[in-house]
C-alpha cells in the first residue's frame, strides 16, 4: 500500500495596483549647450599651444599663438606709410599757405598797376605824358592780372594736393588698422568658459582660415545628452 504524500504549500499574496518605475540603459553622447569652433583668422606658423586638451579654460584664455613677426613687419611698414602720408599732407598745407600769400602779393601789385593806368589815362589825354608811358602802365597792369590768375590757379592746385594727401592718409590709417587687427589674430583666445577639445594642428604647422577647426570649446552647465532609443522603448 502506497504511503500518502503531504499536501503542497502554496504562498498567496494580495495583488495591489501601483506604479512601478521602469529603467533602461542607453549609450549617450554629451555635448555642451554652446560649442565654440576655434579657427585661425590669419595664415601663419603655429608657434605655441597654450592649453591642455580636455582641460577647463576660461573666456579670454590664450589657446594658440602664431609667429607674429611677419604681421609685426607689415604693421611697421603700414605705420611708416602713414607717417609719410602725414608728411605729404603737411607739405600740401604749406603749399596752400604759400599760394595764398602769392595771391595776396599779386593782388596788391595789380592794384598798384591799376591805379597807375587810371592815373595815366587823363594825363595822356591832356598830353602831360607820352602814349608810351600809358602803354607801359597798361602792359604792367595786364602782367599783374596774369600773376593774380596764376596765383589763383596755384591755390586750386594746392587744394587738390591737400585732398589727395588726405585720401592717402585715410588709406594709410586703414592699412594700419588692418595690420593691427591681423597682428592681434596671431593670438587665439577662448570666447567662452568650457572644456577645450583636442587640437587638430601641431606646433610648427602652417595653418590659416582654410585649415578647418583648430579645436572646440564646449560649455558644461547646462549640458545636452544625445542618445538613441528603440521605438518600443
pLDDT along the chain (233 residues), means of 10: 70 85 86 92 95 94 96 96 95 93 92 89 84 88 92 93 94 97 96 94 94 93 86 76
CA–CA separation, 129 and 171 (whole Å): 63
The gap from C-alpha 162 to its chain's centroid, in whole angstroms, comes to 26
C-alpha count within 13 angstroms, C-beta hemisphere, residue 81: 18
Are the beta carbons of 117 and 133 closer than 8 angstroms? no
| Residues listed for the chain | 233
**What is d(CA 44, CA 210) in angstroms, rounded to the nearest whole number?**
12
Helix (H), strand (E) at residue 76: helix 69-125
The whole-angstrom separation of Cα 111 and Cα 94 is: 26
**What's the confidence (pLDDT) of residue 23?**
85
Q: How far apart, in whole angstroms, are the C-alpha atoms of residue 6 and residue 162?
A: 123
For residues 220 and 11, give the distance between their C-alpha atoms in angstroms, rounded to a whole number: 53
Q: How far apart are CA 127 and CA 117, in angstroms?
A: 15
Distance CA 210, CA 222 (A): 31
What confidence score (pLDDT) does residue 223 get? 87
**Sign of dihedral through CA atoms 12, 17, 23, 24?**
positive
Are the beta carbons of 28 and 38 closer than 8 angstroms?
no
Q: Given the C-alpha cell 582654410, which residue does it identify?
A: 210
Q: Which three cell numbers stand for residue 18?
A: 501601483
Residues pairing with 163 in the sheet? none
- Report CA dihedral (219, 220, 222, 227) to the nearest 10 degrees: 100
Amino acid at each position: 500500500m502506497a504511503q500518502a504524500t503531504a499536501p503542497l504549500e502554496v504562498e498567496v499574496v494580495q495583488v495591489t495596483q501601483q506604479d512601478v518605475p521602469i529603467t533602461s540603459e542607453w549609450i549617450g553622447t554629451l555635448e555642451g549647450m554652446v560649442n565654440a569652433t576655434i579657427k585661425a583668422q590669419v595664415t601663419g606658423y603655429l608657434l605655441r599651444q597654450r592649453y591642455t586638451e580636455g582641460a577647463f579654460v576660461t573666456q579670454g584664455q590664450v589657446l594658440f599663438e602664431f609667429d607674429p613677426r611677419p604681421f609685426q613687419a607689415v604693421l611697421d611698414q603700414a605705420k611708416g606709410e602713414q607717417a609719410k602720408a602725414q608728411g605729404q599732407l603737411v607739405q600740401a598745407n604749406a603749399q596752400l599757405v604759400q599760394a595764398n600769400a602769392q595771391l595776396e602779393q599779386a593782388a596788391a601789385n595789380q592794384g598798384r598797376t591799376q591805379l597807375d593806368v587810371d592815373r595815366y589815362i587823363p594825363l595822356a589825354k591832356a598830353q602831360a605824358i607820352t602814349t608810351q608811358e600809358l602803354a607801359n602802365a597798361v602792359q604792367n597792369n595786364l602782367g599783374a592780372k596774369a600773376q593774380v590768375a596764376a596765383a589763383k590757379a596755384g591755390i586750386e592746385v594746392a587744394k587738390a594736393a591737400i585732398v589727395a594727401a588726405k585720401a592717402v592718409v585715410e588709406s594709410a590709417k586703414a592699412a594700419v588698422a588692418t595690420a593691427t587687427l591681423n597682428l592681434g589674430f596671431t593670438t587665439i583666445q577662448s570666447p567662452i568658459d568650457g572644456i577645450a577639445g583636442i587640437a587638430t594642428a601641431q606646433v610648427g604647422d602652417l595653418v590659416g582660415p582654410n585649415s578647418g577647426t583648430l579645436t572646440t570649446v564646449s560649455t558644461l552647465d547646462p549640458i545636452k545628452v544625445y542618445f538613441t532609443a528603440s521605438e518600443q522603448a
